[in-house]
Amino acid sequence: MTARSPRTIPGPHPDPHRPVAFTPPPNACDAHCHVFGPAERFPFAPDRAYTPPDSGIDSFESLQERLGLSRAVFVQASCHGTDNAAMVDALKRGNGRYAGVAMIDDSFSDDDIAALHEAGVRGTRFNFVAHLGGAPDLETFWRLVGRVQPFGWHIVLHFDGKDLPAYAGLLDAMPCPYIIDHMARVPVADGVDQEPFRALLDLLTDERCWVKISGAERLTADGPPPYDDVVPFARALITAAPDRVLWGTDWPHPNVRHMPDDGDLVDLLAAFAPDATTRNRILVDNPETLYDFG
């Protein structure tokens, strides 16, 4: 039997509009985005589930200029596996404006982790999402958490919403701050009273827990914008923990049903947080708490 070839996914919106709902403040941060390739220089992982088109640092910096953002957190995606070279290259290009979240495994030595830290990495990510391979081996998970804790890193966790309640015990045992990606990917059609979202709100009573109000294009029941059905969820999370909420575009948007315009996603933040002081906290102050830019 031959191995199944990874599917090819589309690239990001070719011409996103500039934000119109508000002007991002100085040092505004896209706290969840990726760099893919260029594959000729930074090959994709052989066992990847999907193959994206090249969406490297040059394209990203053009997007930042268009959106009026100046800082970023690059999150290692599964298509590059544990080869963090493309991300590290992007961090070096940023000269202090960017931070990173790596993916690692047991092959990484303490010196390897220290080198990532020196480059600007401040966390490691674990996928628990079914279509990306499902939950990691938990013995390995805890071993790696223990390896990065001395560096002051946090843990980024990518869950399917329906699975979140089952991991309450794991999260309660976390020895360091952790971030729940993409509002835990809850199905918004089920409403804010659904068990997975209540579980997420309960987690935010713990000072270790952070959440990203990203991924509206994934959560919406409608597909295309304006993503109005996601707004009550983001507002509830902001109300629960305004000092532990991050926002990001998720550019270049792997594995989405409908490719968003990143200008729409910036504008959506004005609906999530109509108050400029709260928006500035989400865009500037909160990222500065976790990432020592500059």
Q: Which residues are catalytic?
A: 250
Q: Give the integer Cα–Cα distance in Å for 287 and 28.
A: 9
Instruction: Measure the CA–CA gap between 254 and 257, rounded to whole angstroms.
Output: 9
| Residue 231 to residue 245: CA distance in whole angstroms | 14
Return the bridge partners of 7, or none: 50
d(CA 294, CA 15) in angstroms, rounded, equals 29
With beta carbons less than 8 A apart as the criterion, state whether 178 and 210 touch.
yes
Angle at 232 between CA 30 and CA 229, to 5 degrees: 90
What's the Cα-to-Cα distance from 78 to each of 30, 83, 88, 144, 182, rounded to whole Å? 19, 10, 15, 17, 16
Element (H, E) at 158: strand 154-158
